[in-house]
Amino acid sequence: MRFDGTSRQRENDPMQNLPRPILVIGSLNMDLVVRCEALPQVGQTVFGQDFFTAPGGKGANQAVAAVRLGAGVTMAGCVGRDQFGRDLVTGLAAAGVRTDAVQAVDRPTGTALITVDAVGANTIVVVSGANAACDAASVDRALSAAAAPGILLLQHEVPAQTNAHAIRAAHAAGWTVIVNPAPARVIEQELLPLIDIIVPNETEAAALTGSSEPMTAADELMRQGARSVLITLGREGVLYRDVERTLRCPAVTVQAVDTTAAGDAYIGAFAAALAEQRTLPDCLGFASAAAALAVTRLGAQPSLGTQEEVAAFIAEHGMPMPVPG
């Protein structure tokens, strides 16, 4: 099945109703997290209230988010030959993610320096480290090891040329390609028609299009060649757009503790639901619930809910459903 705003599947495929595998090619970081009352301004020193380390990286976060929700997930990327790298791979494997495609290289493992304030807002500085060593050969090994085409998740914390190769190769092999352009950087226009869903947040959409108005940004991405656009809007929910329809799905109202992995929780849950071949409205609503649960907890991967936890959250808070927008 290639996602294009419909639920079209390959005809006469006896495996068409089986869950599809998810491959994540992306970053693995160790997060160094400080909690404080308010984020420091330029030149200001503030006292932190708490410090902890937690596994992170947008790629690894999305892999864990999906696997905890029952998906079959493989992670491909690079870590250093250091304790952070060993801890990250061990953590992924313990969560149920297949890690054969994670390579150890002679660079330090990627790190993220995260500051979180009293209302859950954050600032993040990423040091790429070993993530910069993820290359086209890593992509080819991971794709060739897959038993069948599934869903490919990409982000912008590995080199742009690596992502470009992955998009072309996966599209040609029949994968559904989902790109989370975070942090924001220009995507070659010739690649946009090869991406099934592009998933920026509001800030990233503005950086890619020059428009801070989500609908205008979505229309511009479509004009540039995107097949479908899913913009996450924090407390305002999400906006979905393709050639056939526009949908808005509200967020679940919760008291946020840490928004660090909200986007990753959303994308991992969306991919897990899509892998089960649920309808688009169900995918959007389920992902909104999973993201809402995540922001009520501290840390990146530690905040990501299991199937049972998300089910309990939905039973208590309900699952939002999209409406035409």
Active-site residues, by number, are 264
3-class secondary-structure state, position 321 = coil
As a whole number of angstroms, the distance between CA 233 and CA 251 comes to: 9
Residue 287 tokens read as 């992902």
Task: Measure the CA–CA gap between 138 and 158, rounded to whole angstroms.
Answer: 11
Contact 55, 30 (CB under 8 A): yes
Q: HSE-up of 286 (CA within 13 Å, CB side)?
A: 26
Task: Give the whole-angstrom CA distance, residue 181 versus residue 208.
Answer: 9
Measured CA angle at 202 (ends 288, 2), to 5 deg = 60
Query: What is the secondary structure of 142-154 as a DSSP string?
Result: HHHH-SS--EEEE
Q: Are 106 and 81 contacting, i.e. CB atoms less than 8 angstroms apart? A: yes
Alpha helices for 236-300 (secondary structure H) = 262-275, 280-294
Count CB atoms within 10 A of the CB of residue 320: 23
Classify residue 131 by its DSSP letter: G
